[in-house]
Structure formats: structure tokens, C-alpha cells
Structure 1
Amino acid sequence: MTSHFRFLLTTAATVSLLAAGNAIAEPRTDLILGMSTEPSGLDPTAAAPVAIGQVVWQNLFEGLVAIDKDGNIEPELAEDWVISDDGLTYTFNLRDSVTFQNGEAFNADTAKYTIDRILADDSVNPQKSLYKTITSVKATDADTLELTLSKPSADLLYWLGFPTAVMIEPTSEATNATNPIGTGPFKFSEWKKGNQVTLVENTNYWGKAPKLDKVTFRFIGDPQAQAAALTSGGIDVVPEFTAPELVSQFEKNNTFSTVIGTSGMEVVAGMNNAKKPFNDVRVRQALMMAIDRQGIVDATNAGFGTPIGSHFSPSDAGYEDLAGVLPYDPTKAKKLLAEAGYPNGFTFTMKMPNRTYAERASEIMQAYFSMIGVTMIIETSEFPAKWVQDVFKDTNYDMTIIGHAEPLDIGIYARKPYYFNYENPDFNKTMVEVANAKSEEERVAGYQQAQKILAEDVPALFIYASPKIGIWKSGLNGMWTNAPVPSNDVTDAFWKE
């Protein structure tokens, strides 16, 4: 064999190896995502379960506006908008050349159809009440949508970014639950009931193309099974891992990233403010100062979660850390009780829903209250049926504990009726000011004032914002750290080897 021929063979082999190496190094373009709950359908405008939006919101369906990973409002199918000086007219300028995944055009007529459907008398939209201030919907031309309101509602834009307000194509309405049609970067491929939903890239997408061409949502209810699937490679990511006690095994494994963020769910111990002794602010403040919120987080969630001082989550734009307003101080708590006429404490009943986090927290709170002479009797209430009837509807309770998962829901303390039976004219006035805000800055400032009022007046014991525990394979980028809206937005996800 000549030296020249040997050189050619060696060179060819080297090129072949390099080519193979380059092929191996190519990043993946698929993703397998684990979720705890399988959705009941795939149309978030027609049913309430959070799991629906966690599959399709932003991935398949889009709205006039979107809520970004920091809780801010961003343009989406509306390029921009104008709000009249009196806050009663919203004019949206829609994007040109947007089509649904069945080829039909998105325009002002389809946007009008979507919102009219939310407001209809026979609407089954789970958040219909959020949009009730809209009295008129007009498509003034193909690219312009006009909404008229009965009164100002500065939060309307935020709510239009929810999964419940995504734009639908009229001819797909009847089948969206099983064969959804949207405008997003991914389109529906298949649903293997009891196992998984698969989305694939929408190659006709109007916006920036995703870096993934296939996303599979696998439904694994048991956290132990989720952990095993992560370890074995059966799934790549669990954006909301529900077993904090198992997190350490992944933190020690450099083949995984463990990313701890916050969600929009606030765990609070609501009190019946219309009943003695909870109608006395000093009693409410004393109970707040009797519990160590970080201690509860440590004991119930293996240290994952954020102690809060008001009904606001760190994932919400405008959040203020007010946990220090009424810090853990049992000595001062006993003094406040004495001032309120309860030097020897009192006895009350905690109606506790049979949810794991509520059970754990209640037992710890019971111990904390005993240290200031207060006896808490724990009564288990079946959730949701009995708890909803006794607490939420009949307000037949002293104290309860529940996670409020609806995003940006601080306004519940101004609702009449609502299970707290709370009345504070200053808070009500502040919420009106939020609704009347003429700018995003005014709106955020109003929410910050509302947080401060609740932190001092304590209509509920504000305990912690639930964590968003994300675990995924190293090399995966673009997943959300926090969850201002319950979602698994993978539109910016990509692999980097």
C-alpha cells in the first residue's frame, strides 16, 4: 500500500469520525415533560382545570396579550392598544397575516367571536366573571377590535392574557377539547388518554419559530414515579415537582438542574372576620405573630416556599416583601391578646381541608398557638365538597387554611360576599383606585398599597407562597423559573449540549 493511499484512507477516516462527532453533538429538538395531572380536555375557555392551560397556553393557544415569565403584560395577537381617558374603551390593533392552524385567518371578527362567546348567557368559561365589565365588542375593521366597558377595569388587560381568554377559531369550537386549533408555535398531534399529549411545531407560525419541533406532555401522578422517570430518562423535565422531600437527590446530581421559583398560589389561614374574637384586629395580629412562617415552610415543604406578609406572591409584578410587618414574636402576641381581653387565650376550631399541605401546616400552627395560650381544635373537612359548602358558601367556620391559586387575586378581600366576611373601606377604596388606574405604574402602586393594608389588618394569616420546584436535565434552557400564571410555556425552550 503506497504512503499516498494510506494518507487518503487516514484522512477519510478522520473526516468520517469528525462528521460522526458533529452529528452526536447536534442538540435535541424534542422534549418530554412530566405533569402530575392529566387535563380533562384541551380547551381552556370551556373548562376550569389548571392542567388544560399547562399543556396548551402559549404553546398552542394565544391571546390578544400574554403574561410573561415575570408577570408583565406583553403584546401578542394584538400589536398594541389604546385606552380612552375615561378607561371605558379599549381599542386593539391586531396583527396582520396571522392564521389558525387549520388555515383560517385570525382577524377582528374571530376576536369578537371569542370574547362574545366568553360573555354569552350560556357561556361555560370558568373565568367569565372577570370579563363582566365588557358591555360591547366591535370589529371596526379587519384589524381593529374595540371593547366598551361599564366601568374602568385596569386589570382587564391582565385577565385577557389568561388561558381562559385565548383566541379560538369559530369552526373549531365544538372539537377544541379533543382536537384544539390555535395560532401558537405548536399544533396538536395526538392524545393518548391516560398517558400523554403530543404537540409538534406549527411550521406556519406567524412569529418566531420554536427551537423544539416536538413536545410530549406525560402524565405521572405519583411523585416517586416522576423521580424515577427523570432518573431513568423517561422524561426530561418536571416543571412543578410536588415532592419537596425528594429534591435533594437531584440537587446532588450534576446531570440535573434544580430550579426553585415561586408560583401564584398563596397559602393562607382565613379567619371569619365577622365572628368573635376574629373581629378584633389585635387578635388577628396576635395570631399572625404567634406563628413562625419559615418554620412552617421548613416542616411542610422541606424548606421550599416563600414566607409572605400579604396576599401577594413574589411571582406577581409589584410584589413587596411584608413578612416583617408582623414578625414571629410570641411575647408580643400574648400582650396583644391581653389588650384585646383574652389574657388566658381562647379556643376555636380549624376546619381543615384534607389536603397534605393543609394537614401539615395545621398541626404546626396548633403547637405555635398553644404557646400563647390559644387552643386550636382541628376538624377535618372533606375537600372539595364539604369544605366548599361549609366554609366557602355558608361561612360556617372559625378558621381554615387553603391555597389560593388564582393569579393576582388580592381583590377577593373586597368581594361581597366572600368567605372571610372582611370589611375595610380603605381596602375597598384602594381596589377601586386599582381599577381606575390610567397607567401600569398607577396599577402596580395601587396593588402595593393594598398589600400594605392587608399586612396590617390581617384578615387572614398569610403563611407562604407555594414554591415552583423545577427539575430538568442539564442542557435544557428556556424553562420558566416562576409561575405567575399556571403554565408550562415551552416556546423558548431549547437544548444546549
Structure 2
Amino acid sequence: MNGIACRVGVGARSSRSSRPSRTSRTSRQLGALLLALVMLFAVAPALAVRDDLRVGVQLEPPVLDPTMTSSASAGEIVYANVLEGLTVIDGEGRLQPRLAIDWVRSEDGLSYLFRLRRNVRYHDGKVFDAHSAASSLRRIVAPGSANPQKAWFAKIRAIEVDSPYQLRIRLSDPDALLPFALALPAAVMIHPDSASGNAQRPVGTGPFRFDAWIPGSLVRLVRNASYWGRSPALARAEFVFMHTTSETANMLSEGLVDGLLSVTRLGERFMIRPDYRLSARRLESKMILAINNGRPPFDDLRVRRALSHAIDRERVRTLYGPQFSPALIGSHFPPSHPAYVDLVHRYPHDPRRARQLLDEARVPRGFEVELVVPPTDYGRYGGLMIASDLEAVGFRVELVEYDWTRWMKEVFGGRRYALTLIMHVEPMDLDIYARDDYYFAYDNAAFKDIWRKVRSARSDEEIHRWLGEAQRRVTEDAVNVFLFMRPEQNLMHRDLEGLWERSRIPSFVLEDIRWSAPASRQ
């Protein structure tokens, strides 16, 4: 900049007179103007409000289509960002219309009529209407469907197109929870022409388009310029896969990511940093020691109850450090729900009682059991605590870590396991205990009858009463060892606003996120 000013000044100097000429004054003014412009453009990038975002996530999804996988990591990236449903659980945790404008339930509870939004297009230009919506729902309920939430839609008898933007769903029995089910990530609207490629390149109607997936590294989304709703402030967002704790710490300390989803032990190290802040997420993530109820000796109720007495939940929940105090649970249900029943003290920590039950069931001391854990912090740290408690009552435990793909195949899909420490993150997922062939191998007619009454209830009071009975049933049957609610926290740059922190859906929704002040990479 100084060089430019000097050259202009020297070139304009007069050798015949010390009095500034009109030409020299003009030249100096021009030089000053050029200098100001140079300085303006030099500082502009530092003052500009950013429109990009990089967030770290622990697990890389096996696919990017949540209608194809039980891994919540897919929905965490694409739900409400790339792919949208007829309804949505919004940032305040409320059920709201999304691609539907509204819906009406018939008096007998056997049908719903949904009015759909007009002028909505998929990212490839295809039109969203009642025909594409009907096709998407038919994929969910098809006989060969692998949709992870298919059981939620088992009561659908017919899907009808009343008009181009009116969709009718007919039911075999009343279902008060259908609008909620349609807000789940597994119920997003998929166009039939792009369905086959959505696993790798999802095509949706959302405010962001899929741009790239670099396996082992990141997924990149970019703003959808043709979005039917309000345009988001962010132009680009990258979800960066954090494979190890040290890698995560390094990227945070160097400012290479703007935040981290669902931090656990790591967050404490960055609490003192003024440019990051911890913020709570209102998710319903339930930590359980899942039991294969179909594998001896765990098909014996006494053995399952022994496990519940053996585990010191107060100690296990300290794996997140002194900063967090997760809420203990006694069933597969969150304490924040109005239908919650406190069953925490049904199985107090009592190693002596655990050994007594094992002796009654004739489980020999030193019985070998494999405990499978996923590649997460809670798996690595919590697995050691669980193994220690089990060995204290006579088991010999082999701790085995599976990557996510293997866990989904061997444990979730194949039920080739005895015990596994796992986090269930979906909201209102007590229905999984009524599913045939679920990986718990729990098949109980009494529970299925209770769940039918939940789904057919006609009032909130009736729903809550039967939800309470459902909680009591799975606890009495000691289907799993229910531990605690994971303390969901995001570690985010302090200048980020608009995070959906009260939504019960495990997703990082981008549409309201913006930078509140100029920020730059470190």
C-alpha cells in the first residue's frame, strides 16, 4: 500500500514550482482514494460475517438415507437439512407441519387427511406432491421394506391421493401417534426417481443440498438456492468425522472446527476457552446395557434381574466427569416426559442379591460372557465399568469393541451377541419392545397388548396411563439394564446462534444457525 502511494506522489511532483498544481492536487486526492480502497478491501474479509460452518461428529454413518439405516448418525446430518418429512419436531420440541400444511383426523380415528405444500421441488427439480408423498410412504410399509421405523406404520391400511396436494392415510386401528411418527428421520419424503441413489447422494426438498461425502473425512452440504421456505444464513456446512479423542482435541484447539456435537468427557478441557461454550440438547438418549433375552442364561428372568442388581449405575454415570450428573432411569423412558414413572429404585445396586439370583438360576461362577461396545467414548470408558461390576458377581467378561458397521450387522441385525452397552437416541421409542425380531429378542404378549392400547388411545390422559404400564412391564421383565439419560451437550463457538437445542430428534438442524458477529478461523 505504501508503495502505491509513493509512486503516485513522485509521479505528480512538479520540478518547476514549489506551489502544488491542480494536477498534483488531483493526483494526491486520487492516491488517497486508492489507498482508502486498498485498506478497505484489506480489512473487509476480517470484518465479514462468516456463512460457513464445520462441526465435528463422532460417528460416520453407513449411509446418508435415514429410511435405510437404524444408525442415528445419518439423520443427524441430513434430517431437516437435506431431507424433510410431512411433519417435524421443531427447535422447541413441538410437533409442527413441514411438507404438510395441516392434517385432520377423522372422528373414528381411522383416517388422516394431509394437505401438502405447493411449489416444493426436490433438489433435482422433481415436483413434490401427493403422488411422490404416497410413493415415499408406500416404500416404508412395503413387505420387503428395511425401514428402521416400519413398525410405527403397521396400522396403515391404505395410502390414497385425493388430489395433487391432498394425501389420505387409512388405518386398520386408530393411531393417535401417527403425526409424531411422520416426524421421525426414517419417515422423510423420498422421490421414487432418486430413492436408489440416496444412500450415497441424498436428494431431498430441504434448505441444504448434498454436495460431497469424502469417506473417513466429512460430508459437505450447501445452501439450496431454490428452497421453498426461508433461505438459511449459512451457505455451506461440513460435518467432520472425529475418529479419536486426541484428533478431536487437536482440531478444537487449533480452531479447525467450530463446534462438536454431543460432547462427553472432552468438553471439560475447553470450558475455560472464551470462544467456546457448552449448550444443552434436549434429546432422549437412553444409555442401556442391552441383553439378548433369547440367549441362555439371559432367557432366565432371574439372571436378567441379577444383572440389574450387579450394575452400580451411580458409578457408571460418572464416566462423563464431575461436570455432568446424568439422570438415572429405571425403564426405557425419559424423566422429562409427563408420562414418566420413577422406577429407578426397582433394582438397587446389590451384588449379594445378584449372586443369590445367579445361584438360583444355576449360573456357575466364572461363566464367560462377551460384552460388545461401540467405538464411542461411552463404549470405551463405560464398558470397563460394566465389565468390572459383572466380574464382581462372578462373570468372566470379554470386552470387545466393534466398529459401527459391524455392530449394526452382528448385534442389531444378526442378534449375535450376549450383552452390549448402547445408547438409544430416538424419542418415544418404547415401541421397540413390541417389535418382532428386534435385537433384544423380547417377545411378550402382555407388553404388545399394552402398546396397542397406547396407540389406540383417544386422549392424552389415556396415552399417559398406558405408557406408564408399558414402562412398568419392561422393568419387571428386566429386559435390559436401564442406566441413565446421556447428558447431551454441544460445544459450539460462542458467536453461533439459532441451534435447535430443544428438539427431541437427534439431528443438527442448520436452517436457523447464523454467525452473530464477524469471526475468522484461527
1:307 aligns to what?
328
Which residue, out of 207, 229, 239, partners 2:229? 207
2:202 aligns to what?
180
Q: Is the 8 A contact 2:373 2:383 kept in 1?
A: no
1:62 aligns to what?
84
The 5 A counterparts of 1:68-107 are 68-69=90-91, 71-107=93-129
The 5 A counterparts of 1:21-420 are 24-69=46-91, 71-241=93-263, 244-261=264-281, 263-271=283-291, 279=300, 288-299=308-319, 304=324, 305-313=326-334, 317-318=337-338, 320=340, 322=342, 324-326=344-346, 328=348, 330=350, 334=352, 347=365, 349-355=368-374, 357-358=378-379, 360-365=381-386, 367-368=388-389, 374-380=393-399, 383=402, 397=418, 401-416=421-436, 418=438, 420=440
Distance 2:389 2:262 in 1: 30
Distance 2:203 2:164 in 1: 20
Deviation of residue 256 (structure 1)? 0.7
Letter paired with 2:203? I
Q: Is the 8 A contact 1:268 1:463 kept in 2?
A: yes
Q: Is the 8 A contact 1:238 1:470 kept in 2?
A: yes
TM-score by length of 1: 0.80
Judging changes above 3 Å, is the alpha-carbon distance between structure 1 residues 21 and 112 closer, same or farther for their aligned structure 2 residues? Answer: same
Is 1:434 equivalent to 2:459 in the alignment? Answer: no
Judging changes above 3 Å, is the alpha-carbon distance between structure 1 residues 75 and 390 closer, same or farther for their aligned structure 2 residues? Answer: closer
Letter paired with 1:34? G
Distance 2:341 2:259 in 1: 30
Q: Is the 8 A contact 1:334 1:343 kept in 2?
A: no
Distance 1:294 1:120 in 2: 44
| % same residue | 31
Q: Is the 8 A contact 1:313 1:319 kept in 2?
A: no
Deviations for 1:401-432, whole angstroms, at most 9, x for unmatched residues?
44334443212333445565656665444312
Specify every segment of 5 or more residues in structure 1 that has no aligned partner in the other structure, as ranges.
none
Distance 1:417 1:479 in 2: 37
Distance 2:59 2:359 in 1: 48
Deviation of residue 268 (structure 1)? 1.9
Q: Is the 8 A contact 2:72 2:425 kept in 1?
A: no
Distance 2:353 2:67 in 1: 51
Q: Is the 8 A contact 1:71 1:317 kept in 2?
A: no
Q: Is the 8 A contact 2:209 2:224 kept in 1?
A: yes
Q: Give the aligned CA root-mean-square deviation in angstroms.
A: 4.2
Deviation of residue 154 (structure 1)? 3.3
> 2:193 aligns to what SS in structure 1?
helix
Judging changes above 3 Å, is the alpha-carbon distance between structure 1 residues 341 and 181 closer, same or farther for their aligned structure 2 residues? Answer: closer
Q: Is the 8 A contact 1:286 1:337 kept in 2?
A: yes
Deviation of residue 293 (structure 1)? 1.4
Q: Is the 8 A contact 1:318 1:448 kept in 2?
A: no
Distance 2:353 2:150 in 1: 46
Judging changes above 3 Å, is the alpha-carbon distance between structure 1 residues 142 and 442 closer, same or farther for their aligned structure 2 residues? Answer: farther
Letter paired with 2:331? S
Aligned residues: 483
Q: Is the 8 A contact 2:330 2:482 kept in 1?
A: yes
Deviation of residue 489 (structure 1)? 1.2
1:492 aligns to what?
512
Distance 1:166 1:448 in 2: 29
> 1:253 aligns to what SS in structure 2?
coil
> 2:179 aligns to what SS in structure 1?
helix
2:466 aligns to what?
446
Which residue, out of 473, 480, 485, partners 1:460? 480
Distance 1:471 1:385 in 2: 29
Letter paired with 1:352? L
Deviation of residue 77 (structure 1)? 0.6
Judging changes above 3 Å, is the alpha-carbon distance between structure 1 residues 171 and 345 closer, same or farther for their aligned structure 2 residues? Answer: closer
Specify every segment of 5 or more residues in structure 2 that has no aligned partner in the other structure, as ranges.
1-18, 518-522
Distance 2:397 2:320 in 1: 17
- Bigger Rg, structure 1 or 2: 2
When structure 1 is superposed on structure 2, of 174-183 and 271-280 the one drifting more is 271-280
Distance 1:400 1:298 in 2: 19
Distance 2:381 2:323 in 1: 13
Is 1:481 equivalent to 2:492 in the alignment? Answer: no
Judging changes above 3 Å, is the alpha-carbon distance between structure 1 residues 354 and 70 closer, same or farther for their aligned structure 2 residues? Answer: same
Judging changes above 3 Å, is the alpha-carbon distance between structure 1 residues 86 and 350 closer, same or farther for their aligned structure 2 residues? Answer: farther
Deviation of residue 114 (structure 1)? 1.5
Letter paired with 1:255? D
Deviations for 1:190-245, whole angstroms, at most 9, x for unmatched residues?
4445433332222222222212122222333223222222222222122134xx33
Deviation of residue 253 (structure 1)? 1.0
The 5 A counterparts of 1:9-24 are 24=46
Judging changes above 3 Å, is the alpha-carbon distance between structure 1 residues 69 and 456 closer, same or farther for their aligned structure 2 residues? Answer: farther
> 2:66 aligns to what SS in structure 1?
coil
Q: Is the 8 A contact 1:468 1:481 kept in 2?
A: no
Distance 1:390 1:190 in 2: 30
Q: Is the 8 A contact 1:185 1:207 kept in 2?
A: yes
> 2:488 aligns to what SS in structure 1?
strand
Q: Is the 8 A contact 2:286 2:483 kept in 1?
A: yes
Letter paired with 2:318? D
Q: Is the 8 A contact 2:440 2:479 kept in 1?
A: yes
Judging changes above 3 Å, is the alpha-carbon distance between structure 1 residues 24 and 335 closer, same or farther for their aligned structure 2 residues? Answer: closer
Q: Is the 8 A contact 2:94 2:503 kept in 1?
A: no
Q: Is the 8 A contact 2:265 2:319 kept in 1?
A: no
Deviation of residue 92 (structure 1)? 0.6
Judging changes above 3 Å, is the alpha-carbon distance between structure 1 residues 323 and 471 closer, same or farther for their aligned structure 2 residues? Answer: farther
Distance 2:352 2:288 in 1: 22
Distance 1:37 1:388 in 2: 16
Letter paired with 1:148? R
Judging changes above 3 Å, is the alpha-carbon distance between structure 1 residues 27 and 405 closer, same or farther for their aligned structure 2 residues? Answer: same
Deviation of residue 71 (structure 1)? 4.6
Deviations for 1:461-492, whole angstroms, at most 9, x for unmatched residues?
21123343422211112224367333221111
TM-score by length of 2: 0.77
Q: Is the 8 A contact 2:285 2:486 kept in 1?
A: yes
